Amino acid sequence: CGESRKRISRWYFGGLASCGAACCTHPLDLIKVHLQTQQEVKKRMMGMAIHVVKNDGVLALYNGLSASLCRQMSYSLTRFAIYETVRDMMGSTNKGPMPFYQKVLLGAFGGFTGGFVGTPADMVNVRMQNDMKLPPELRRNYKNAIDGLFRVFREEGLKRLFSGATMASSRGAMVTVGQLACYDQAKQLVLGTGIMGDNILTHFLSSFIAGGCATFLCQPLDVMKTRLMNSKGEYTGVTHCLRETAKLGPLAFYKGLVPAGIRLIPHTILTFIFLEQLKKYFGIRIIS
């Protein structure tokens, strides 16, 4: 009859897929935060992992998991919902895929909004992951993400909850352009060759490319965001943090690039594989 059936994502699938990926990659994220908050480079990735396990046990690698999941359900759910909803609407209107520049603009907008919405959970996530590095008397000891959010609000005020929001929003824009816009474009190009179909291998290849783009784009902002959120008042603002980080040399902005890539690329791959499977089995069926 010439009709083709396909499924499109529901608005909340991106948040669920990101949570699934976060459960798998959380230890890498925790090690990345530890590396970025070192004042001097003392340990590399494996050294830091061994140090954490030796001092606090294997479960310490999952410190702050509740905050990480809370962050994905605020930050990632928002950016995916905006990007995928608008893209699917535009696609049905234009009867074809959006041009790449529109994907970039939409990704930047969705990511910026998601970054702002997810800032409180992101800050609690960074603090919970970094807590074990502090002396016992300086630890914040949040029980979980919700306890952390309430305590920051009660002890430090609403403004503190959005500390680093500019940086988190800018990073959100960059990483969403790298992940969502580049994934869509890479998948479109791979499928356009006619060599590969819309299968898990295509999803893997496209998400691997997207993860690499996202890592490179957002690493300088990620380093500054982590420093701002973890600070105890040593930075007066974004500009001051930028100047202090720059004093350590240009490579300071790419501190932890390899662990960031080792964490973000698998996270991106897992997110999109989970998302495509959710879409395939539970998505909204449309007939074109």
Q: Residue 40: what pLDDT?
A: 63
Does residue 146 fall inside a structural domain? yes
Does some domain include residue 2?
Answer: no
Quickly list H helices, 131-256: 145-156, 158-161, 165-176, 182-192, 200-230, 238-246
CA dist 164 and 150 (Å) reads 18
**Contact by Cβ (8 Å): 73, 15:** yes
Dihedral sign computed on CA atoms, order 82, 83, 88, 90: positive
Q: Is residue 287 part of a domain?
A: no
pLDDT digits (tens, 9 = 90+) for 229-270: 777 777 777 788 888 888 888 778 888 788 778 878 999 999
The answer to whether residue 288 is domain-embedded is no
Domain containing 12 — which CATH number?
Answer: 1.50.40.10
Q: How distant is the alpha carbon of residue 187 from its chain centre?
A: 20
Q: Dump pLDDT digits (tens) for 36-90.
A: 776 666 677 788 888 888 888 888 888 878 888 998 999 999 999 999 999 988 8
What is the pTM (predicted TM-score) of this model?
Answer: 0.81
Residue 130 placed within a domain? yes
Q: How many domains does the chain have?
A: 1
Q: Is residue 190 part of a domain?
A: yes
Asked if 190 and 243 count as a contact pair (C-beta separation under 8 A), the reply is: no
The domain of 162 spans: 8-282
285, β-bridge pairs: 7
Q: Is the pLDDT of residue 1 over 60?
A: no
pLDDT per residue as tens digits for the range 177-207: 999 999 999 999 999 998 898 999 999 999 9
Question: In this structure, is residue 140 part of a structural domain?
Answer: yes
Residue 181 DSSP one-character state: I
Q: Is residue 226 part of a domain?
A: yes
